[in-house]
Amino acid sequence: MEKKAGFAKPEALTDALTHYCPGCTHGIIHRLIAEVIDELGIREITIGIAPVGCAVLAYNYFNLDFAEAAHGRAPAMATGLKRVQPDKVVFTYQGDGDLAAIGTAEIVHAASRGENITTIFINNAIYGMTGGQMAPTTLPGQVTTSTPFGRDVKLAGHPLRVAELIATTSGAAYVVRRMVTKPATIASAKKAIKLAFQAQRAELGFSLVEILSSCPTNWGLSPLEALEWVEENMASYYPLGDYKVIDEVKSLK
Amino acid sequence: MAKILMKGNEAIAEAAIRAGCEAYFGYPITPQTELLEYMSRRMVELGRVFLQAESELSAINMVYGAACAGARVMTSTSSPGFSLMQEGISYIVCSEVPAVVINVMRGGPGLGNIQPSQGDYFQMTKGGGHGDYNVIVLAPATLQEAIDLTILAFDLADKYRSVATIIADGMIGQIMEPVELPEIEPPKRPEQPWALTGAKGREKNIITSLYLGGPNLEKVNLRLQETLEEIKANEVRYAEYMLEGAEIVVVAYGTAGRIAQTVVQEAREEGIPAGLFRPITMFPFPYDRLDEVAKSVEHLLVFELNAGQMLEDVRLATRDRLPIHFYGKMGGVVPSPAEVLAQIKKIASPQQGER
Ligand SMILES: Cc1ncc(C[n+]2csc(CCOP(=O)(O)OP(=O)(O)O)c2C)c(N)n1
Ligand code: SF4
């Protein structure tokens, strides 16, 4: 079958149907990563690491060598994979529970070591896979199945701003926050993902792209409402922007 | 080959290097730390991978990653660190990638102390982490044996695509002894078509421990059990000492086994027909051979540096057919040969001891 330019599936994706809910932006982000891998011509040297979370089966959707990590440990696993084969491109794909709760130590230290890997961080302000409990990124006042009265920061603590935190580490080369709500923001997210992989290829250190993502199912919103919720509520608490871009990365542009 | 004087932890480290260990990830903890320190120097000198992780959780997952890439990889720790590694070990076993883990045990539970102990027997030989699995567990009683078993551990991990461990205690880690370090040819490793090296000119590889749906995981469980059966059939190892005519046989491993050897010799000198059965593989445990041995003796004396953990396997092996006595020391207390000998004497002539 002849594929239409622009709509062809990237080579870095398989034909498998994903299990993501309708309107979930995990799928969009998968596609952006795959397009970037195709454009950089690195499919055959790239190894991905799936998290524990809704993206646990990402290995079925990417046409790449893939490992599935224990909850939160993807950056450590990536470190092992990369250290023994530094010529390969290694990335982790992690949700906010995985990266910012149970795996906080692993991500901070991978960044701090300047581990030459890339992390795509999906911030959807909730635990998707387990059915909508509070995540470390859940907004103040946000109702979840484990904050039925809304997140009370006095009791449940404050949301964690990951991009800002990781940007403080000396080993980080490229740390930015994006969202994937409309064509313009999606294009910007793709550019960031590309730059993150390029930074790794240039051996510049750790790169992280935080992406504000929607979870219509557990937010109890329609897909469109969920995208609006990202723009209205998440983007104000988690401002989009470039939190750390070292000069060598700037010159990659 | 000339013998050189080495400390246990360093001997194990050097053995791993000679076995072709390509990557080491670890976290400092006494009484194992010299192993990590030795690796931090030698691995770097050899252009191999050394990394001090931020925790044992991370160390074992770095091992997991490197193992997925097909590297010969190892970590080392002591009891509290081994507890933390259990999650990762469970994942590694389910993913069927090879790795070596050294546990230089210390007193527990809790933070315990840094003295020698065998308190991790249960958590090492009975699975330890979640799910149905076991790892290979090798128990050295001397530094030479620690070297030989470390080299063996890499080969067994490769052969069965699983985790092979060394169950050493702080005594083995800390003492110095003359040892012979073998010169080893570059290891002949099995092919690794499963390794994550980039899907170049082949279908992509996936390494996962997730198998959704009952029958899918059950298939993996059955395969893992099959591997364990093979391990049980092929890899049982033990040492026997003065079993000829023995009526009282001490069953002990590691440092306890070493003390027991001295004790058995002394008992014989005093005319007590004692012998020693020393398991070397704690998993697979030498059930059948111990059962055989027990058939021609009057008493077994299980001696461990814990509250009686291997004791359960000895009872299982012999089905309690004969009197099984136990002498254990906890808290990092290592008894003198005289104390153990007193136990043998009590068994030999009960009227002399308190009943
Ligand atoms: C050690 C461990 N603890 C808890 C869980 C259960 N669990 C699975 S996914 C998940 C949260 C995932 O949330 P997130 O990382 O935000 O990803 P999302 O599903 O939202 O994409 C939890 C707690 C687990 N699998 N392992
Ligand atoms: S539960 Fe939420 S994050 Fe998970 S697939 Fe559904 S919409 Fe996406």
Task: Kindly provide the ipTM of the predicted complex, given to two decimals.
Answer: 0.97
Does residue A1 have a pLDDT over 60?
no
pLDDT of residue B316: 98
pLDDT in tens, B130-151: 999 999 999 999 999 999 999 9
CATH code: domain A26-250 is 3.40.50.970
Chain B residue numbers with beta carbons less than 8 Å from the beta carbon of A13 are none
Of all residues in chain A, the percent with pLDDT exceeding 70 is: 98
Name the strand (E) or helix (H) holding B258: helix B254-269
pLDDT of residue B285: 98
pLDDT in tens, A81-95: 999 999 999 999 999
Same domain, B93 and B219: yes
pLDDT of residue A210: 99
What's the whole-number mean pLDDT along residues B141-167? Answer: 98
Does residue A104 have a pLDDT over 70?
yes
Pocket of ligand 1 (CB under 6 A): A 52-55, 71, 95-98, 122, 124, 126-130, 135
| Domain termination residue (choose one: B234, B267, B282) | B234
B138: containing domain: 4-234
CB contact under 8 Å between B57 and A109, yes or no, is no
Residues with Cβ within 8 Å of B239's Cβ and at least 6 positions away in sequence, in order, are B141, B257, B276, B278, B280
CB contact under 8 Å between A76 and B53, yes or no, is yes
pLDDT of residue A4: 52
pLDDT in tens, B215-228: 999 999 999 999 99
Residues with Cβ within 8 Å of B204's Cβ and at least 6 positions away in sequence, in order, are A62, A63, A64, A65, A66
pLDDT of residue B354: 46
Which CATH number does the domain housing residue B257 bear? 3.40.50.920
* Sign of the C-alpha dihedral computed for residues B193, A88, A68 and B122 taken in this order: positive
Q: What are the boundaries of each domain within chain A?
A: 26-250
Q: Tell me if B231 sits within 8 A of A96, measured CB to CB.
A: no
SS3 B101: strand
pLDDT of residue A253: 73
Identify which ligand lies nearest to the alpha carbon of A52.
Answer: 1
Rounded distance between C-alpha atoms, residue B154 and residue B301, angstroms: 33
CA B112 remoteness from chain centre? 20
What's the whole-number mean pLDDT along residues A214-222? Answer: 98
Residues with Cβ within 8 Å of B84's Cβ and at least 6 positions away in sequence, in order, are B55, B56, B57, B60, B77
CB contact under 8 Å between B199 and A84, yes or no, is no
Closest C-alpha to ligand 2, atom 7: A215
Same domain, B222 and B245: no
**Domain total of chain B:** 2
Q: Tell me if B72 sits within 8 A of B62, measured CB to CB.
A: no
Of all residues in chain B, the percent with pLDDT exceeding 90 is: 95
pLDDT in tens, A30-79: 999 999 999 999 999 999 999 999 999 999 999 999 999 999 999 999 99
Same domain, B74 and B206: yes
For ligand 1, mutation pick of A71, A93, A210, A212 (most atoms within 8 Å of CB): A71
Minimal Cα–Cα distance from A196 to chain B, Å?
A: 19
pLDDT band for position A198 (50/70/90)?
Answer: very high
Q: Is B246 left (phi over 0), alpha (psi -120 to 50) or beta?
A: beta
Same domain, B264 and B219: no
Q: Cβ of B158 under 8 Å from any chain A Cβ?
A: no
Nearest to B79 by CA among B108, B122, B39, B115: B108
pLDDT in tens, A113-168: 999 999 999 999 999 999 999 999 999 999 999 999 999 999 999 999 999 999 99
Expressed in angstroms and rounded, the spacing between residue A47 Cα and the centre of ligand 2 is 24
Same domain, B251 and B151: no
Identify which ligand lies nearest to the alpha carbon of A134.
Answer: 1
Expressed in angstroms and rounded, the spacing between residue A67 Cα and the centre of ligand 1 is 17
**Closest chain A residue to B23, measured at CA:** A84
The pTM assigned to this predicted structure is: 0.97
pLDDT in tens, B295-318: 999 999 999 999 999 999 999 999
Average pLDDT score over chain A: 97
pLDDT of residue B186: 84
Chain B residue numbers with beta carbons less than 8 Å from the beta carbon of A69 are 61, 64, 91
Of all residues in chain A, the percent with pLDDT exceeding 90 is: 96
Does residue B155 have a pLDDT over 90?
yes
Rounded distance between C-alpha atoms, residue B243 and residue B245, angstroms: 6
SS3 A75: helix
SS3 B164: strand
pLDDT band for position A7 (50/70/90)?
Answer: confident
Minimal Cα–Cα distance from B48 to chain A, Å?
A: 8
Expressed in angstroms and rounded, the spacing between residue A130 Cα and the centre of ligand 2 is 10
Same domain, B319 and B338: yes
pLDDT of residue A11: 97
CB contact under 8 Å between A84 and B204, yes or no, is no
Q: Tell me if A160 sits within 8 A of A192, measured CB to CB.
A: no
Question: Angle formed by the axes of helices B79-95 and B56-68, to 10°?
Answer: 30
Closest C-alpha to ligand 2, atom 2: A215
What's the whole-number mean pLDDT along residues B250-265? Answer: 98
Name the strand (E) or helix (H) holding B41: helix B33-45
Same domain, B105 and B121: yes
CB within 8 Å of chain A, chain B residues 59-118:
59, 61-69, 71, 73, 87-88, 91
Token pair for residue B39?
A: 């690796």
Token pair for residue A244?
A: 């750390």
Same domain, B219 and B256: no
Rounded distance between C-alpha atoms, residue B23 and residue B74, angstroms: 7
Chain B residue numbers with beta carbons less than 8 Å from the beta carbon of A82 are 65
Of all residues in chain B, the percent with pLDDT exceeding 70 is: 98
Minimal Cα–Cα distance from A57 to chain B, Å?
A: 9
Does residue B355 have a pLDDT over 90?
no
Which residue would you say has higher pLDDT here, B2 or A109?
A109
Q: Cβ of B54 under 8 Å from any chain A Cβ?
A: yes
Q: Which of A44, A59, A109 sits opposite B58 (nearest CB)?
A: A109
pLDDT in tens, B3-47: 999 999 999 999 999 999 999 999 999 999 999 999 999 999 999
CB contact under 8 Å between B207 and A68, yes or no, is yes
CB contact under 8 Å between B208 and A68, yes or no, is yes
Same domain, B228 and B249: no
Does residue B353 have a pLDDT over 50?
no
Average pLDDT score over chain B: 96
SS3 A234: helix
Expressed in angstroms and rounded, the spacing between residue A21 Cα and the centre of ligand 2 is 5
Q: Which of A76, A81, A83 sits opposite B196 (nearest CB)?
A: A81
Which CATH number does the domain housing residue B212 bear? 3.40.50.970
Nearest to B8 by CA among B206, B196, B140: B140
Does residue A5 have a pLDDT over 70?
no
Q: Which of A43, A66, A76 sits opposite B65 (nearest CB)?
A: A76
Same domain, B199 and B273: no
| Domain termination residue (choose one: B193, B212, B234) | B234
pLDDT band for position B352 (50/70/90)?
Answer: low
Same domain, B110 and B208: yes
Q: Tell me if B29 sits within 8 A of B80, measured CB to CB.
A: yes
What's the whole-number mean pLDDT along residues B68-89? Answer: 98
What's the whole-number mean pLDDT along residues B248-269? Answer: 98
* Sign of the C-alpha dihedral computed for residues B168, B306, B135 and B59 taken in this order: negative
pLDDT of residue A6: 60
Same domain, B272 and B174: no
Q: Which of B25, B198, B206 sits opposite A88 (nearest CB)?
A: B198
| Domain termination residue (choose one: B216, B234, B252) | B234
Nearest to A35 by CA among A192, A238, A234: A192
pLDDT of residue B171: 95
Pocket of ligand 2 (CB under 6 A): A 20-21, 24, 26, 54, 124, 128, 215-218
Does residue B293 have a pLDDT over 60?
yes
Expressed in angstroms and rounded, the spacing between residue A58 Cα and the centre of ligand 1 is 14
